[in-house]
Amino acid sequence: MNGFEFTHRPIDAAALTGSLADPAAGGFAAFEGWVRDHNDGRRVARLEYEAFEELALREGRRIVAEAIRRHGARRAHCVHRLGALEVGELAVWVGVASAHRAEAFAACRQIIDEIKHLVPIWKKEHFDDGDSGWVNCAHCAEAAQAPGFDYSRQIALPEIGAAGQRRLAESAVVVVGAGGLGCAVLAGLAGAGVGTLVIVDHDVVEPANLHRQPLYSTNDIGRPKAGAAASRLAAYNPTIQLRPLPVRLTPANAAGLVAQGDVVVDCSDNFATKFLVNDAAVLAGRPAVLASVYQYEGQLQVVRPDADGSCLRCQWPEATRDGLVGNCAESGVIGPVPAVLGNLQAMEVLKLLLGLPGQLRNELLLVDLLDLSQRRLQAPRAPECKGRCARIAELAAPVPAGTLEVSVSLAEAALQGYRIIDIREPDECLALPMPLPGHEAIPLGQLLDGATRLDPGLRYLLVCSSGRRSLAAAELLRADDQGNVWSLRGGLTVTMRTQNAK
Amino acid sequence: MPRIRLRYYALLREQAGRQEETVETAARTPAALYQELILRHGFRLPQAQLKVAVNAAFTDWTYALADGDEVVFIPPVAGG
Ligand SMILES: [Zn+2]
């Protein structure tokens, strides 16, 4: 038996130990967590455990599998009790069998620590005096045992105090994107003691991320960012709970993910996700804190559907297509810029959770870190705000990228009857001329300004250097009913490489 | 002619090669002004992809410009 499970019945430790028997195992280590009769100086009469089961099972299995892999254990299993328990009962059991004792101890320790930190389990304590209350397990189990983490300097702020600190511990924040902005947001909120952080990111850590994403180290390369960030933050602050979700935010899951937090923070690096976060937040009536960076500048906006505030679509009704303006990879980025913007986001989240004054609302903040200027632009709510965001359904069915892109050589494309349009800027065309005559050169801006109308009787193939701008242009032209437009996949770079290889 | 103060961000700052400038212009609206600037600085983003703010508030492209106005063209930004 290898894995993780919940049970509503008493745990039979002897039977579980037997189930891990393995002739190749020379060592076995087990940990048992028991219900004790006191917590925080109060007498505890009994306990109830509750879990977000679907997610907890997935996370629990991942933790056990990871511990087996990392320590080279033979077999490992963890069972967590749910429901009502009396003092002295077994609440959680972990067992590991391995060739030698060292791996068994290490894997067992890792499993119980990560289960406590990462798995969404709550505990309701019934005290002798009749009082009771739900506590996040990571919180109650570790808070007392983490004397190294002390919020006193923050509690000393008169606007926060012990009540504010409790409010933070009870709050949950969903962070979409664990890149440059996300690292700063997550570190800021974890340090402040926000009780639960949900980390949504489907990417893995790459070497080119590290200079601006200090939650990761070179050892994390290739590891999913959500999990790597959660491990790092769990070690940083053991009093909070982390929920890593290595998934892409999609129209299908956006509403469900946004509902997991009191606030959602957009730290993504593409327009599709930013609009999705905005729309899901508006539809759910939850605040969203959005930021973006470009080279030495950033923009910050707080979407407040819960307070009749404006949203991203109030100023930008149509979702901007990705590929039209540069991203971090194309335009370059330096660490402190996303770090500053991310910390501004973290501060706005804390202001929201704590009800602090001066919250950004109905404004767009522009920050320039070269000349250190800031500008606040009034961005009022559009009367049709909510109707626009109802387009989340529309986002669910964008033109499938596959049908917009073709992979052909330019010569074949010409033979197949495509009119080829080079949408690069004149200086790019000079630097890398098209390898084939007989094409038109219409720079992107000119093609999209509406003055150039394409002939509906012809088929067009748009070409740029990487295939990104041409895909964005093809999407926009299709949306504008200029139907017969395709994009050359991979652009000139790929075409030339293929050609040279022949 | 009215003097307008301009402030550039992101792609527009790069393409203009400056963060701000003051121009004398006959343009009566932000839309007309942006067309002038396309010629002057070679801006590549179509107007439809931009928003405009005059005197620190988002406005529409037909706003009647007056002497001393401060105009900011805001490109969308998605880096994270
Ligand atoms: Zn809106």
Task: Judge contact between A379 and A315, C-beta under 8 A.
Answer: yes
Mean pLDDT of A80-100: 94
- Å from A379 to nearest chain B CA? 6
Determine contact: B62 vs chain A, CB below 8 A: no
Exposed, middle or buried, A21 (CB in 10 Å: 0-12/13-18/19+)? exposed
* Measured distance CA(A445)–CA(A439) in Å, rounded: 18
Q: Which residues of B touch A365 (CB under 8 A)?
A: none
Mean pLDDT of B35-60: 91
* Measured distance CA(A341)–CA(A184) in Å, rounded: 8
Nearest to A212, CA basis, from A298, A313, A108: A298
Selected residue of A175, A203, A364, A423 to mutate for chain B interface (largest B Cβ count, 10 A) = A364
Mean pLDDT of A265-289: 92
User: Residue A85: its pLDDT value, please?
Assistant: 92
pLDDT at A314 over 60: yes
Q: Which residues of A touch B55 (CB under 8 A)?
A: none
A116's tokens: 């406590």
Decide if B80 and A375 are in contact by the 8 Å CB cutoff.
Answer: no
User: Residue A321: its pLDDT value, please?
Assistant: 73
pLDDT at A388 over 80: no
Going from the Cα of A344 to the center of ligand 1, the distance in angstroms, rounded, reads: 22
pLDDT at A206 over 70: yes
Residues 6+ apart with CB under 8 A from A405: A467, A471, A486, A487, A488, A489
pLDDT bin (cut points 50, 70, 90) of residue A402 is: low
- Every domain of chain B and the residues it spans: 3-69
Q: Which of A38-52, A289-303, A474-488 has the highest mean pLDDT?
A: A289-303
pLDDT at B64 over 90: yes
pLDDT bin (cut points 50, 70, 90) of residue A268 is: very high
A282 against A263, higher pLDDT: A263
Decide if B58 and A267 are in contact by the 8 Å CB cutoff.
Answer: no
pLDDT at A145 over 60: no
Torsion of CA A275, A288, A209, A62, to 10 degrees: -100
A189 against A407, higher pLDDT: A189
Cβ-count burial A155-187 (b if 16+ within 10 Å, e if not): beeeebeeebbebbbbbbbbbbbbbbbbbbbbb
* Measured distance CA(A364)–CA(A361) in Å, rounded: 8
**Residue A323 φ then ψ, to 5°:** 105, -20
Task: Judge contact between B56 and B39, C-beta under 8 A.
Answer: no
Residues 6+ apart with CB under 8 A from A233: A186, A187, A190, A197, A215, A240, A242
pLDDT bin (cut points 50, 70, 90) of residue A500 is: low
Task: Judge contact between A72 and A103, C-beta under 8 A.
Answer: yes
A vs B, Cβ pairs < 8 A, gives 112
Q: Which residues pair with A203 in a beta bridge?
A: none
Mean pLDDT of A328-353: 93
End-to-end CA distance of chain A: 54
User: Residue A501: its pLDDT value, please?
Assistant: 53
Torsion of CA A214, A141, A6, A69, to 10 degrees: 40
* Measured distance CA(A256)–CA(A258) in Å, rounded: 6
Q: Which residues of A touch B63 (CB under 8 A)?
A: none
User: Residue A304: its pLDDT value, please?
Assistant: 95
Q: What is the pLDDT of residues A430-489, one digit of tens each?
A: 888 888 777 888 888 788 776 677 887 788 899 998 888 888 888 777 766 677 888 998
Selected residue of B19, B38, B77 to mutate for chain A interface (largest A Cβ count, 10 A) = B77
pLDDT at A133 over 80: no
How many residues in total does chain A contain?
Answer: 502
Determine contact: B32 vs chain A, CB below 8 A: no
Determine contact: A294 vs chain B, CB below 8 A: yes
Decide if A445 and B72 are in contact by the 8 Å CB cutoff.
Answer: no
A135's tokens: 């506590």
User: Residue A146: its pLDDT value, please?
Assistant: 54
pLDDT at A39 over 90: no
Task: Judge contact between B78 and A274, C-beta under 8 A.
Answer: yes
Going from the Cα of A268 to the center of ligand 1, the distance in angstroms, rounded, reads: 19
pLDDT bin (cut points 50, 70, 90) of residue A91 is: very high
Mean pLDDT of B23-39: 95
pLDDT at A348 over 90: yes
Task: Judge contact between A189 and A346, C-beta under 8 A.
Answer: yes
pLDDT bin (cut points 50, 70, 90) of residue B76 is: confident
For chain A, which domains are there? 3-157 (3.90.1170.40), 171-385 (3.40.50.720), 402-501 (3.40.250.10)
User: Residue A387: its pLDDT value, please?
Assistant: 65
Chain A residues 345-384 with CB within 8 Å of chain B: 364, 366, 368, 370-371, 375-380
pLDDT at A144 over 60: no
Decide if B56 and A338 are in contact by the 8 Å CB cutoff.
Answer: no
User: Residue B3: its pLDDT value, please?
Assistant: 95
User: Residue A437: its pLDDT value, please?
Assistant: 75
Residues 6+ apart with CB under 8 A from A437: none
Q: Which of A17-26, A308-317, A346-355 has the highest mean pLDDT?
A: A346-355
Mean pLDDT of A134-151: 58
Q: Which residues of A touch B57 (CB under 8 A)?
A: 377-378, 380
ipTM over 0.90: no
Sign of CA dihedral B62, B68, B73, B74: negative
A45's tokens: 């009469």
Task: Judge contact between B77 and A292, C-beta under 8 A.
Answer: yes
Residue A323, sorted as left (phi over 0), alpha (psi -120 to 50) or beta, turns out to be left
pLDDT bin (cut points 50, 70, 90) of residue A427 is: confident
Output the average pLDDT for chain A. 86
Residues 6+ apart with CB under 8 A from A6: A51, A53, A56, A57, A79, A80, A81, A82
Going from the Cα of A446 to the center of ligand 1, the distance in angstroms, rounded, reads: 30
CATH code, B3-69: 3.10.20
CA A2 to chain centre: 29
CA atoms within 13 A on the CB side of A328: 23
Percent of chain A with pLDDT over 90: 49
Determine contact: B9 vs chain A, CB below 8 A: yes
Percent of chain A with pLDDT over 70: 89
User: Residue A10: its pLDDT value, please?
Assistant: 94
Residues 6+ apart with CB under 8 A from A116: A137, A138, A141, A142
How many residues in total does chain B contain?
Answer: 80
Determine contact: B22 vs chain A, CB below 8 A: no
Across the interface, which of B44, B56, B57 has its CB nearest the CB of A425?
A: B44
Report DSSP state, residue A450: S
- Å from B65 to nearest chain A CA? 17
Determine contact: B74 vs chain A, CB below 8 A: yes
Chain A residues 441-500 with CB within 8 Å of chain B: 443-445, 448-450
Owner of token pair 């990871």: A66
**CA–CA distances in Å: residue A228 to residues A62, A103, A167, A240, A484:** 13, 22, 27, 16, 44
For chain A, how big is the Rg over CA atoms in Å?
27
Task: Judge contact between A284 and A258, C-beta under 8 A.
Answer: yes
Torsion of CA A61, A204, A403, A484, to 10 degrees: 150
Determine contact: B41 vs chain A, CB below 8 A: no
Q: Which residues pair with B53 in a beta bridge?
A: B58, B72
Nearest to A413, CA basis, from A448, A439, A431, A443: A439
Across the interface, which of B10, B13, B44 has its CB nearest the CB of A445?
A: B44
Strands A405-406 and A485-488: parallel
